[in-house]
Amino acid sequence: MYLSNECQNICTYCGFSFTNKIPRKTLTDAEILAEIEIVKSYGYDNILLVTGEHDKLVGIDYLLHAVELVKQHFSQVSIEVQPMEQHEYELLKKAGVYAVLVYQETYHKDVYKSYHPKGKKSNFEYRLDTPDRLGKAGVYKIGLGVLLGLEDWRTDSYFNALHLDYLQKTYWQTKYSVSFPRIRPHEGDFAPKSVLSEKELLQLICAYRICFPDVELSLSSRERAQFRDIVLPYGITSMSAGSKTEPGGYSDSEALKQFEIHDDRTPAEIAAMIRSKQYEPVWKDWDAVLI
Ligand code: SF4
């Protein structure tokens, strides 16, 4: 659930980037409650709250208040917001946050700077150290990932795996998840440097599953339906469904989406697909089916 598309950063690949002239919106209490009602009606009990990165408009006070509102309706509340200080994560944990997702985007330091020229996010080290601050704050689950396509995907994924391995050994009481976002079309003309095919993404997911048997692997509705069905039995343990990538998107909004959704099946349809076992492996058909 997107709470805000306000952002002070310039990220050259993102529709919410500071210099993009788009309608900006941050949800009020009433709007958050309206969104909750709709998301709950889909049968969800876990929720991920997402914001752009804006110190003043969606800083710690706004988030603490939003978590307070949301946690009464969901068993697990996770957040994907701007990197914060350890004491802020401690407050969020106390308020009821279960997991924090923070993606490094790319581990290539020089290239990172070119994709993030302005704003707090341009500080590579501060972002890289964020999972450490989360581990020290005792947050229950940390979500990692790279934006596949910014740099050579094998190199970035390898460094992401090294980072995960280090975190598992250092903060061994914490759970971890890894996501596999591939760059999707958005406003503007951003072209991925390294194009990752579906076959390669499947290979990557299998590699993570072999290397990290207990880690949650997550695949979003950025990917098309048929691909998600095929990949599911190879290690994916968490999937979004019915996602809206704009603030207020569940009730009504004309705000700009952060990225396009490719699997637009409803949560009920995804649940039915999983229950029906239609996702069983189709080994012989891979060449014909995967793009
Ligand atoms: S990727 Fe995040 S930090 Fe960068 S512009 Fe988009 S919302 Fe802001």
pLDDT at position 187? 46
**Residue closest by Cα to atom 4 of ligand 1:** 11
Percent of the chain at pLDDT exceeding 70: 92
CA-51 nearest atom, ligand 1: 7
Task: Output the average pLDDT for the chain.
Answer: 92
CA-10 nearest atom, ligand 1: 5
Q: What is the pLDDT of residues 64-89, one digit of tens each?
A: 999 999 999 999 999 999 999 999 99
Give the single-character DSSP code of 10.
Answer: B
Domains contained in the chain, number: 1
**Ligand 1 and 9: CB distance under 6 A:** yes
* CA 115–ligand 1 middle distance (angstroms): 11
**Ligand 1 and 53: CB distance under 6 A:** yes
Evaluate whether 218 touches 99 at the Cβ level (below 8 Å): no
Evaluate whether 66 touches 3 at the Cβ level (below 8 Å): yes
**Ligand 1 and 14: CB distance under 6 A:** yes
* CA 192–ligand 1 middle distance (angstroms): 16
The stretch 182-200 carries a mean pLDDT of 77
**Ligand 1 and 7: CB distance under 6 A:** yes
Residue where the block lists tokens 């310039």: 10
**Ligand 1 and 81: CB distance under 6 A:** no
* CA 224–ligand 1 middle distance (angstroms): 23
Closest alpha carbon to 138 in 171, 176, 102: 171
pLDDT at position 276? 83
d(CA 147, CA 150): 6
* CA 53–ligand 1 middle distance (angstroms): 6
Per the structure, the complete domain to which residue 135 belongs is given by 2-289
Q: Name the residue of 17, 20, 49, 57 to mutate for ligand 1: max ligand atoms within 8 A of Cβ.
A: 17
Could you tell me the pTM of the whole model? Answer: 0.93
The dihedral through the CA atoms of 194, 199, 204, 205 has a sign that is: positive
Q: What are the CA-CA distances from residue 227 to residues 159, 198, 289 (Å)? A: 25, 7, 8
Please list the residues that pair with 77 across neighbouring strands.
47, 97
d(CA 243, CA 53): 20
Confidence of residue 191 (pLDDT cuts 50, 70, 90): confident
Confidence of residue 169 (pLDDT cuts 50, 70, 90): very high
Chain-centroid distance of CA 33 in Å reads 22
**Residue closest by Cα to atom 7 of ligand 1:** 52
The stretch 258-265 carries a mean pLDDT of 81
CB atoms within 10 A of CB 78: 20
Q: Name the residue of 3, 5, 6, 7 to mutate for ligand 1: max ligand atoms within 8 A of Cβ.
A: 7
Q: What are the CA-CA distances from residue 214 to residues 98, 118, 162, 255 (Å)? A: 18, 37, 16, 38
**Ligand 1 and 186: CB distance under 6 A:** no
CA-116 nearest atom, ligand 1: 4
Give the single-character DSSP code of 283.
Answer: G
d(CA 135, CA 113): 25
Confidence of residue 95 (pLDDT cuts 50, 70, 90): very high
* CA 17–ligand 1 middle distance (angstroms): 6
**Ligand 1 and 52: CB distance under 6 A:** yes
**Ligand 1 and 217: CB distance under 6 A:** no
The stretch 150-176 carries a mean pLDDT of 97
Q: What is the pLDDT of residues 45-58, one digit of tens each?
A: 999 999 999 999 99
Whether the predicted pLDDT of 260 surpasses 80: no
Whether the predicted pLDDT of 29 surpasses 60: yes
CATH code: domain of residue 89: 3.20.20.70
